[in-house]
Amino acid sequence: MDSQELYWFSDSVLHRLDPRLKVGGLAILSLLLTLTRWQGLVLTSLALMGLVIISHTPLRLFRGMTFVLLWLGIFYGVAAGWVWSQSASFWQGHWSQAGLLQAVFMLWRITLIFGLTRLFAAVTLPMEQGLGIVYFFAPLTSLSTKAAEFALLLTLTLRFIPLLGEEAALIWKARMIKGNWPTTWLRRSWEICQLIVPLILISLKRAEELGETMLARGYGSGSFRTFLIHERTAMDWWGGIAVGLWGVLLLIWH
């Protein structure tokens, strides 16, 4: 498999878990990580390493986070660690130990959230991600049918994400062959940013067309359960208990 792909094909325990459990667990743990102290961060770091080992996910899949985290570290280090003096010169100041420590903790939290999200994408198919998200939109369908239609659109959009990655790779290869690809990293970043919006619009358009076709064939708003064929197993219950204990510990160490 290409290291740039999101999903890692395997038959691990994490791959077989209910997508609803993985979506809910990721959302809850990400929220609690913004509140917990260093004990919770240490626990989550160890748990994340254990989950990576259990899921047989190669570390190279997390390599794409390095550049982003590096820039975030520089930004938080300067923003929180550098204290400006009262003089008119903005470059005069000093480093604050408390500020640098705060920046380290902020970067630590973001790294864990990014890591959990990357692992979630590696062990959950895009269609399963959408179905898991749709499940939590179910209570809103009683208020408005638009919630179910939005959930359907989101599910189908996620389904087309791998295809967008393939199309982006084909565009990149074609421009490389023609010698039309920028040589500097700044211009490359700008070219990639210019590709993102059109690809997202293409994905939304495809999802909308497929959704209209499904509705025309009798698909009713809110009837996503016909697609959610995953049956809960004992492994899912144990996984739910583990996520619950994990969340409780993060909350205790708040």
Q: What is the DSSP letter of 208?
A: H
Angle 63-21-27 from CA coordinates, rounded to 5°: 60
The predicted pLDDT at position 4 comes to 45
Q: What is the dihedral of CA 147, 153, 155, 156, to 10 degrees?
A: 160
Q: Does the structure show a pLDDT above 90 at 173?
A: no
State the Cα angle at 105 between 102 and 111, rounded to 5°: 140
Task: Select the more confidently predicted residue: 63 or 52.
Answer: 52
pLDDT tens column, 143-154: 666 666 666 666
Q: If you ran DSSP here, which 8-state letter would residue 254 be given?
A: -
| Total residue count of the chain as it appears in this document | 254
The predicted-structure confidence for 108-127, as pLDDT tens digits, reads as follows 999 999 999 889 988 988 77
User: Is the confidence at residue 180, as pLDDT, over 80?
Assistant: no
**Looking at the predicted structure, is the pLDDT value of residue 162 above 80?**
no
Q: How many other C-beta atoms lie within 10 A of the C-beta of residue 225?
A: 11
Per the CB < 8 A criterion, the answer to whether 120 and 52 are in contact is: no
Give the pLDDT confidence score for residue 152 in this predicted structure. 64
Asked if pLDDT for residue 50 goes beyond 90, the answer is yes
Per the model's pLDDT, the better-predicted residue between 196 and 65 turns out to be 65
- Decide: 250 and 29 in contact? Cβ < 8 Å: yes
Provide the pLDDT for residue 66.
Answer: 85
pLDDT at 3: 39
Phi first, then psi, for residue 84 (nearest 5°) are -80, 145
Asked if 85 and 149 count as a contact pair (C-beta separation under 8 A), the reply is no
Q: Give the start-to-end residue ranges of the domains of the chain.
A: 1-124+231-254, 126-222
Is the CB of residue 145 less than 8 Å from the CB of residue 211?
A: no
Task: Identify which of 155, 168, 171 has the alpha carbon closest to the alpha carbon of residue 204.
Answer: 155
Q: What is the pLDDT of residues 57-110, one digit of tens each?
A: 888 888 878 888 888 888 888 888 888 777 656 667 778 888 889 999 999 999
Give strand pairing partners of 93: 84
| Alpha helices per DSSP H over the chain | 13-16, 19-33, 38-54, 65-81, 97-123, 126-137, 145-159, 161-177, 185-216, 234-252
Residue 253 pLDDT exceeds 70: yes
- What pLDDT score does 163 carry? 63
Of the spans 13-17, 161-165, 180-184, 226-230, which averages the highest pLDDT? 13-17
Which residue pairs from 232-239 have beta carbons closer than 8 angstroms and sit at least 24 positions apart in sequence? Answer: 232/18, 233/16, 233/18, 235/13, 235/16, 235/17, 236/17, 236/18, 236/21, 239/13, 239/17, 239/18, 239/21, 239/25
